Amino acid sequence: MSADTLPANAPFPDMALGELPDDAFLRANALPPRGASLSLRAYWDALPWDIREACAWTPDTLAAGLRAFRAAHQRPIEETRLESLEIQGGRDKTGQPETQSLVLRPGDVVAVVGPTGSGKSRLLADIECLAQGDTPSGRRILVNGQAPDRRMRFTAEGRLVAQITQNMNFVMDLKVLDFLSLHAESRRLPDPEAAATRVLDAAVGMAGEPFTGATPLTQLSGGQSRALMIADAALLSPKPVVLIDEIENAGVDRAQALRLFIDKGKIVLLSTHDPLLALSGGRRLVIRQGAIAAVVETTPEEQDCARWLGLYEGRVSALRDALRQGRPLAGVWRDLAKAEVA
């Protein structure tokens, strides 16, 4: 069987119970199973040479064969088209009703602000699990005006929400590009290699310290890991809602990260203590005592303030880069002062 000879509507070839679809294809071609954790390239490289010689495949034809097989045999991923996400008020920590409710739409970026312990993470967690009055806040989250079904709440593929937090690290022993290719393949994109490279470029552009596709995931720093997860969530993940829990100290270019999500039309909620990030959103939710106490629109004057903060931050980061690279700061400082006068 090859990509060309595979019948478009052939039944699944006696797939064993629990067998991965790719492995059924490989078995039908007398190749060993690949399992869930290897990219196709790494699988091919790990095959004994005599098997590679004996089979009629090359890495490219095998990839094409697998793509054709999946297209013919797998159910398309059913993605929910998100038109609105509604947060219906519950109660605060003292049991008083939460009077604010709001509706978010694709492309909305909303900051979540409030003192430590006020309930910012609780709000994000309510959205993450699409709460239905069954969390401490009693909030309800509606999808397209309706209560979500069980699939959206409790199955990995049905979930609408991707979450990025401070403490994310990889435990997989794969190279960065292999991991991204694996994810792109699982999304059944027409050109998974090109998609993986796009994510890699975006991640490297955001991370403070450079890395390559050959860097093992386990060797990425905290900032590099988060840059990779942000680029992956923006460019590869089908999830239309992204929750970001305090990325201020994450060592990533935060403005660039937000732009990626906005360009993709995602709904973004970010919990933050950082004024620049908070002002990047169109609105901010002020959390007090476990409830949304106010919804504040970003004013034109605050947008001016954000531009000024952006300039200031650019200068601080130029000084930080020089510091990291062991360069004297005086020259950088003089250049910055000259640029200001100009």
Footprint of ligand ATP (CB under 6 A): 91-93, 114, 116-122, 136-137, 290-291
Is the CB of 203 or the CB of 243 nearer to ligand ATP? Answer: 243
- Would you say 242 and 197 are in contact if contact means Cβ atoms under 8 Å apart? no
CB of 275 to ligand ATP, least distance (A): 15
Which of 110, 145, 91 has the alpha carbon at shortest distance from 293?
A: 91
Q: 241 has which bridge partners?
A: 161, 267
> Using an 8 Å Cβ cutoff, are 75 and 235 in contact?
no
In the complex with ligand ATP, the residue whose CB is nearer, 141 or 202, is: 141
CB of 269 to ligand ATP, least distance (A): 12
**119 or 192, CB closer to ligand ATP?**
119
Instruction: Choose between 91 and 315: whose C-beta lies nearer to ligand ATP.
Output: 91
Closest CB 287 distance from ligand ATP, rounded Å? 6
Shorter beta-carbon distance to ligand ATP: residue 118 or 298: 118
User: Please, what is the minimum distance in Å from the beta carbon of residue 114 to ligand ATP?
Assistant: 6
Cβ at position 98, least distance to ligand ATP in Å: 7
Largest CA distance in the chain: 74
Question: What's the rounded Cα separation, in Å, for the pair 210 and 204?
Answer: 6
According to DSSP, residue 218 is labeled: G
- Do strands 109-113 and 283-288 pair parallel, antiparallel, or not at all (unpaired)? parallel
Cα gap 338→257, rounded to integer Å? 29
Reference 272, options 243, 240, 245; nearest CA is 245
243: helix, coil or strand? Answer: strand
**By beta-carbon distance, which residue lies closest to ligand ATP?**
290
